[in-house]
Structure 1
Amino acid sequence: MGPRRRQRAVGLSAPGAKRRNGPRRNRQGKTGNRPLPDAAEKPGLAARQAAHRILGAILDAKSSMDGLTDEFHGHPHYLALEPRDRALVRAILLTSLRNYGDLDGVIARFTDKPLPAGATGLRNILIAGLAQILFLDIPDHSAVDLAVAAAQSDPRARRFAGLVNAILRRAAREKDSLLAGFTETPVRAPRWFAERLDAIFGPETAAAIDACHRIEAPIDLTLKRKEQEKAADWAERLGAIVLPTGSLRLTGPSRDIVDLDGFGAGSWWVQDAAAAMPARLFGDLAGKRAADLCAAPGGKTAQLADAGAHVTALDLSANRLKRLVSNLERLGLDGACRTIAADLFAFAPDAPFDAVLLDAPCSSTGTVRRHPDVPFTKSPADIEKLADLQARMLEKAASFVTPGGLLVFSNCSLDPLEGEEVARRFAGSHRDFEIVPVRGEEAPGFEAAITADGFLRLTPAHLDLGDPAISGVDGFFAARFRRLL
């Protein structure tokens, strides 16, 4: 490696990098003889700038990616884009977050000094640029050019445009060796989350979970009960495989869900195989009264209704319940369900239920495959607060169960503080309830996920099908209790 050269605030260690102290500007605010780039004039720049801003909102303001990329209420720079550019922004964000540790490690490796403490915009430009060069099907020259243009158009990053150019060009030259290094010694981020997984599951399982988090999650479908005997036929029609639990998993190239056979007819709905497990723990529900206490968006509600139960679906959000009703109408299950927009703690049913499902709000750390922003927007303090909320919600939910009835507590967290510990405390303080252990035949393919307590503890590393692209499930926890007579 040749002698290192320095930029004003950040050193370069990129071979052949030229020394720059930022672009020269004349009194008209121009760089050399060319005006600073205008997003409206440079194709693709507006999409990159939107990605940089949204990445900053996720990492710095702890805002959720789902909210920022909502098609109606999302970030204004995102909403200003055409659908094709919105899809590109989402791809950049997902890739940047899934591989953030490795990408940030490249920046550290390619610079003599850490980036300035306040240079968050610069870091976001670099992270997004590296994600495009190393992982996305975007020409290197385009990724470099637009990242440099984004830096030049940002007053706080303008003087680092040369640095952006040098780092990204070097990454393009060294792409193969960088990717090989990521595979051999991946950099896990954020650190708090990596350390927590190690402490909970041990380094080997934690590494397997982390590997799953770096791969896009497959899409699973739950067939309606009357279609389940034709699962093999449906798999052939949809280009899917039948999982041990009976769920279908789509394979092959990505497709628009609404265009798939059976969508319009309401023959199935999208639901991860792990998320489908809690509702199945009730067994025969024909003619029984069931309550889904945190119901939206309605996958588990649909399972209860499809199983023959008379369902009360409760959710705090009236808007989310509208989506649930729409889903049930497509499935032809709306007649078996009534919806109530209410706070669980204020809810007073007119009669107890035979089956009560509490899929409680949680940190969602089991869904990092689908939502890689979660570890960056949540913290250990959030987990503790949510665990306390879950315990109080479980206490309330228990009061709705008729003697002899079943109560299932579940959530999509990987953390035992939100799962096993809540369930154990509940069991220890309620002599009127008993744990009903999950049996192996109730969880085909997931037998190893049944704990000594009889709970179900699923992680993304479960369901290894030999191909990482079609393996794994969401992280999920479920515990089943029976109210004693």
Structure 2
Amino acid sequence: MRTPTRPRQAPARQAPARPAQPGLSARLLAADALDRVLRAGTPLEDALQDMPGLEPRDRALAFHILAVSLRRLGSLRAVLAGLMEKGMPRSAPKVEAVLLTGAAQILFMDVPDHAAVGLSVEIARGDNSTAGFSGLINAVLRRLTREGPGLLARIDPLDADTPEWLRKRWAATYGADRARDIAAAHAHEPALDLTVKSDPEGWAEKLSGKVLPTGSVRILEAGPVRALPGYEEGEWWVQDAAAALPARLLGDVRGLKVVDLCAAPGGKTAQLVAAGAQVTAVDRSAERLRRLSENLTRLKLEAEVVQADAGAFKGGLFDAVLLDAPCTATGTLRRHPDIAWSKRPDDVAALAMLQSRLLNHALDLVRPGGLLVYSTCSLEPEEGEIQVEALLAARPDVAREAISGKDGAAVAAFTTPQGDLRTLPCDWVRGEPERSGLDGFFAARMRKRG
């Protein structure tokens, strides 16, 4: 489970008049959102939420520009630095966001150069904080159309687009070659994965997708999610293929009393309910629980929804507990590239302390003989393997129940030597990069002694 970024002071924003030029609204929103992500630490999925009224096409373009700008942020900054002798103007920090989004369109998107340059200049002119730098923006982006590809060729994107502290961590944990594979996977926009209630083959055909070995349906040409067949009818929900694995480690849950801790936005809750469990979904955020309840209503599924701190929840004993704990979410950079630039090394230690507290409490909610599945969408061992080893060493009332071929060949393929589950973004190479990969996840299954 992704944890919110630390709060920062949001930059002052100016409500612009409705742009008249085609494509300007999307680019204005992208530049504004990028400025908020970089300077205020706003999560990517929240940065585009407060400008209603845009057409779905414009919102999709804005998201694409924003995501590309963040995925290739290091490379874009390096190329722009090569064109600006004096660097970015300190008196107008939003200039960087305008330049970055313009450069992303020129270097990495199928956008006419003149549109990327001209509309970036218009964005600058329309904001009092950047209007005085519109000439600079025009000159830099015009040079970029000529010199950018050559400058880009001198940059190693696998180094530039991953913060150094993460590169070092992944190389130490997975080896240098594997670390480069992980970074390479982050450069590509991922496909859309769905968990379906039933008939994955049928839904894959209807949605022009493919059924993955684990049963998820992967589609490439999605368009607006709400417009896809089966959405309004509640036949499926969006869930990365890796995120769908932890709930499956509980096995046959029909009729069992299960608690899903840190449950929002509800993908794992939906899996458990659809599989026949009696589910209590717990989360501390009222807003996130509202979204969970809305998702369950659309899916025509029912669960008991409880707003509470997962580390203090008292609901009796359960047959099974699923704890998808708050974490740095470094396994989800394909979908959330902002995380690479919003997290810091000390976040790992702080979240590991929280995870330890939640794990110990979660175990206390398991009846003797029951199961506990612990998972995080993090690539950091302190939030996964090390966390579980510490629990097993400290609590004699629990034992690891190793994942095996009985859990299915597709799941067993991701088993560690210790018997836990570990997926990496560079796993599942299936031809083109856009068809490959899945989120980085860790999960361990443990049984409480009777």
Structure 2-normalised TM-score? 0.89
After superposition, what is the alpha-carbon deviation per residue over 1:296-336, rounded to whole angstroms, capped at 9, x for unaligned? 111111111122211111111233223222222333321xx
Q: Specify the code of the residue in structure 2 equivalent to 1:347.
A: F
The CA distance in 1 between the partners of 2:87 and 2:101, in whole Å, is: 18
- Alignment partner, residue 307 of structure 1: 275
1:233 equivalent among 196, 202, 205: 202
Cross-structure match for 1:33: none
Pairwise CA RMSD? 2.4
| Residue identity in the other structure for 1:147 | S
Say which SS state the counterpart of residue 354 (structure 1) adopts. Answer: strand
Q: Retained in 1: the 8 A contact 2:89–2:95?
A: no
Residue of structure 2 in register with 1:223 after alignment: 196
> Residues of 2 paired with 1:362 and 1:452: CA distance?
23
1:432 aligned partner, one-letter code: D
How far did 1:148 drift?
2.6
Aligned to 2:291: 323
**Change in 2 beyond 3 A, CA 1:184/1:150:** closer
Residue 267, structure 1, aligned to residue 235, structure 2: yes
Partner of 2:335: 370
Task: Kindly indicate whether the alpha-carbon contact (under 8 Å) linking 1:277 and 1:443 is maintained by their aligned counterparts in 2.
Answer: no
Asked whether the 8 Å contact 2:369–2:449 carries over to 1, the reply is yes
Note the alpha carbon deviations across 1:210-254, whole angstroms, 9 max, x for none: 111111111112222xx2xx4333322221111111111113x23
CA contact 2:193–2:241 (8 Å) conserved in 1: yes
Moved more, 43-52 or 282-291: 43-52
Q: Which residue of 2 aligns with 1:405?
A: 370
CA distance in 1, matches of 2:295, 2:20: 42
Q: Does 1:193 align with 2:158?
A: no
Instruction: Write the mapping of 1:65-84 to structure 2, written as runs, cut at 5 A.
Output: 65-70=44-49, 74=50, 78-79=51-52, 81-84=54-57
Whole-Å separation in 2 of the counterparts to 1:444 and 1:275: 17
**Cα distance change on mapping 1:118 and 1:440 into 2, 3 Å:** farther
Deviation at 1:277, TM superposition (A): 0.6
Distance 2:92 2:403 in 1: 51
Which stretches in structure 2 are left out of the alignment for 5+ residues?
A: 1-15
Looking at structure 2, the residues matched to 474 and 385 of structure 1 have their Cα atoms a distance apart, in angstroms, of 22
Query: What aligned pairs does 1:2-13 form with structure 2 within 5 A after superposition?
Result: none
Q: Tell me: CA distance 1:59–1:196, structure 2 relative to 1, closer, same or farther (3 Å).
A: farther
Q: Is the partner of 1:340 in helix, strand or coil? A: strand
Alignment pair present for 1:107 and 2:86: no
Distance 1:41 1:328 in 2: 39
Check if 1:248 corresponds to 2:227: no
1:456 aligned partner? 421
Q: Which amino acid aligns with 2:172?
A: A
Deviation by residue 1:186-208 (Cα, 9 ceiling, x = unmatched): 62233333333233222211111
Structure 1 residue 48: deviation in Å? Answer: 3.5
- Contact preservation (8 Å) 1:296, 1:323: yes
1:417 correspondence with 2:382? yes
In 2, the alpha carbon distance for the partners of 1:97 and 1:221 equals 24
Q: How far apart are 1:166 and its partner, in Å?
A: 2.7
Matched residue, 1:132: 105
Quote the sequence identity (%): 46
Q: 1:85 to 1:436 in 2, by over 3 A?
A: same
SS of the counterpart of 2:188? coil
Paired residue type of 1:362:
C
| SS of structure 1 residue aligned to 2:383 | coil
SS at match of 2:295: helix
Give the Cα–Cα distance (whole angstroms) in 2 for the partners of residues 38 and 317 of structure 1: 34
Secondary structure at the counterpart of residue 479 of structure 1: strand
Alpha-carbon contact 1:463-1:472 (below 8 Å) kept: yes
Give the Cα–Cα distance (whole angstroms) in 1 for the partners of residues 365 and 23 of structure 2: 55
Using the TM superposition, give the Cα deviation of residue 280 of structure 1 relative to its aligned residue in structure 2, in angstroms.
0.6
Match of 2:358 in 1: 393
Identify the match of residue 34 of structure 2 among 39, 42, 55: 55
Instruction: Say whether residues 1:166 and 2:139 are aligned partners.
Output: yes
Among 331, 335, 341, the alignment partner of 2:307 is 341
- Which range is displaced more, 474-483 or 452-461? 452-461
Give, in angstroms, the shift of residue 448 of structure 1: 4.7
Which residue in the other structure is 2:186 paired with?
213
In structure 1, the residue corresponding to 2:94 is in which secondary structure?
helix
> Once the 2 structures are TM-superposed, how far is the Cα of residue 44 of structure 1 from its aligned partner?
4.6
Deviation of residue 447 (structure 1)? 4.0
Question: 1: CA distance between counterparts of 2:157 and 2:265?
Answer: 39
Deviations 1:246-304 (A, max 9, x none): 111113x2333333333333332221110011011111112111110111111111111
Moved more, 50-59 or 458-467: 50-59
Are residues 1:87 and 2:60 paired? Answer: yes
Which position in structure 2 is the counterpart of 1:18?
none
Q: In the aligned structure 2, how far is the partner of 1:187 from the partner of 1:214?
A: 11
CA contact (8 A) 1:293 1:357 kept: yes
Q: Deviation string for 1:142-165 (max 9, x for gaps)?
A: 211222333445555455444322
Contact 1:445 1:463 in 2 (8 A): no
Give the length in aligned residue pairs: 435
**Could you tell me how far 1:404 is from its partner in structure 2?**
0.5
* 8 Å CA contact retained: 2:403, 2:412: no
Which of the two has higher C-alpha Rg? 1
After TM superposition, the structure 1 stretch with the greater mean CA deviation from structure 2, 84-93 or 288-297, is: 84-93
**Cα separation, 2, equivalents of 1:240 and 1:164:** 42
Deviation at 1:477, TM superposition (A): 0.8
Query: Matched residues in 2 for 1:423 and 1:357: separation?
Result: 14
Deviations 1:346-387 (A, max 9, x none): 3211x3111100011111111111111111111112222111
| Paired letter, 2:341 | F
Residue correspondence of structure 1 range 433-444 to structure 2 within 5 A: 433-442=398-407, 444=409
Aligned residue identity for 1:391: S
Q: Are 1:141 and 2:139 an aligned pair?
A: no
Going from structure 1 to structure 2, the CA distance change for 1:92 and 1:319 (only over 3 Å counts) comes to: same
Which amino acid in structure 2 is aligned with residue 236 of structure 1?
E
Distance 2:255 2:242 in 1: 25
**Distance of aligned partners of 1:393 and 1:371 in 2 relative to their CA distance in 1, 3 Å threshold:** same
After TM superposition, the structure 1 stretch with the greater mean CA deviation from structure 2, 421-430 or 151-160, is 151-160
> With structure 1 as the length reference, what TM-score do the two structures score?
0.83
